[in-house]
Amino acid sequence: MKICAWSPEYSVGVASLDEDHQELFEILNTLFTLMADGSDDKPILRILRELMDYTRYHFEAEEKIMAQMFYPDLERHRVSHQKLVQLMDEFYKEAQNGMAIFVAVKVANVGLEWLKNHILKEDHLYYEYMTKQNLHF
């Protein structure tokens, strides 16, 4: 079942980061599928863990590239990343206490909205900067 997918409008002009974003959409999609199937806690916790780990890995990669391009708004962007990481940590703890499927619904909806908004509004700002400076990564 495909609930969400990356499309070219989400491109940030860096192939490796576009691939990361595609993977994040895929993980969210898996979460939506588990929810639709009425999954038990264990597989949901596994996917939530995967989502958190991949998100952390991706934010690090993105921040590293922003630093390499001397992106002036890096600190504000980093704070936005940190807030999501904290929120996901809270959700994960909640899911560990049982009835993970209810937490999964929150994570999937909040996560998907966050991802779409963040790419289109915040990531696209470094894309714009990169284009203006004629930088390529």
Q: Which is nearer to Fe ion, 99 or 120 (CB)?
A: 120
Q: Which is nearer to Fe ion, 65 or 107 (CB)?
A: 65
Contact 69, 38 (CB under 8 A): no
Q: Which is nearer to Fe ion, 88 or 123 (CB)?
A: 123
Q: Which is nearer to Fe ion, 21 or 32 (CB)?
A: 21
Q: What would the 3-class secondary structure string for the chain be?
A: CCCCCCCHHHCCCCHHHHHHHHHHHHHHHHHHHHHHCCCCHHHHHHHHHHHHHHHHHHHHHHHHHHHHCCCCCHHHHHHHHHHHHHHHHHHHHHHHCCCHHHHHHHHHHHHHHHHHHHHHHHHHHHHHHHHHCCCCC
Q: Which is nearer to Fe ion, 55 or 62 (CB)?
A: 62
How many residues sit in the footprint of Fe ion (CB under 5 A)?
2
- Closest residue to Fe ion, based on beta-carbon distance: 123
Q: Which stretch binds Fe ion (CB under 5 A): 4-12, 29-37, 94-102, 115-123?
A: 115-123
Q: Which stretch binds Fe ion (CB under 5 A): 25-33, 55-63, 68-76, 95-103?
A: 55-63
Q: What is the closest distance, in whole angstroms, from the C-beta atom of residue 136 to Fe ion in the complex? A: 19
Output b/e per residue, 105-117; b: 16+ Cβ within 10 A: eebbeebbebbbe
Tell me the per-residue interface mask from 58 to 77 with Fe ion, x by CB under 5 A, - otherwise.
----x---------------
Q: Which residues are near Fe ion by CB under 5 A?
A: 62, 123
